[in-house]
Amino acid sequence: MSAKGKCLCGAVTFTADEVDGHVHACHCSMCRNWGGGPFLAAGVGKVSFTGEEHLKRYRSSDWAERGFCAECGTNLFYHLIEPSSYVLCTGSFDDVDQFSLAGEIYIDEKPKGYDFAGDHPRLTGAEFLKSIGMDPEGS
């Protein structure tokens, strides 16, 4: 499936191909600090942006960067650098009704004040890092 989206002010737009209709919620402290709550995102096979002069990238770890609009501040993506893969904020898609919650990660960091309903996988930070081939011990 292909889908389009944009930031709040429209300075950055995107077209994504091979959009995964499954939303994953990340509860890690970095995502919560970045967006004020859980990061809700869907993976895409590839994405192209227009308005790149307004797109700001921030290297948030050794293996990933986050992207946002420098004009309005809209969070747009998390980019795993190697292998290159993007997950896009589901709220920035034009059609958000195409998505359904499929799983949660970093549940060990999730604040007690909110929960997501439904039966879906819930992984700790260490379990998630191991699933993408990273060493949870950092060595």
Per-residue pLDDT of the chain in tens (139 residues, 90 and over written 9): 899 999 999 999 999 999 999 999 999 999 999 999 999 999 999 999 999 999 999 999 999 999 999 999 999 999 999 889 999 999 999 999 999 999 999 999 999 888 877 888 899 999 988 888 888 777 5
3-110, which class in CATH? mainly beta
Q: Report the predicted TM-score, pTM, of the whole model to 2 decimal places.
A: 0.82
Per domain, the residue ranges of the chain are 3-110
pLDDT digits (tens, 9 = 90+) for 71-109: 999 999 999 998 899 999 999 999 999 999 999 999 999
- Residue 112 has what pLDDT? 84
Q: What angle do CA 131, 135, 136 make, to 5 degrees?
A: 85
Q: What angle do CA 95, 97, 103 make, to 5 degrees?
A: 115
Tell me which H or E stretch contains 131: helix 125-131
**Distance in angstroms (rounded) separating the CA atoms of residues 28 and 26:** 6
CA within 13 Å, CB half, 56: 10
* H helices, E strands: number in the chain: 2, 11
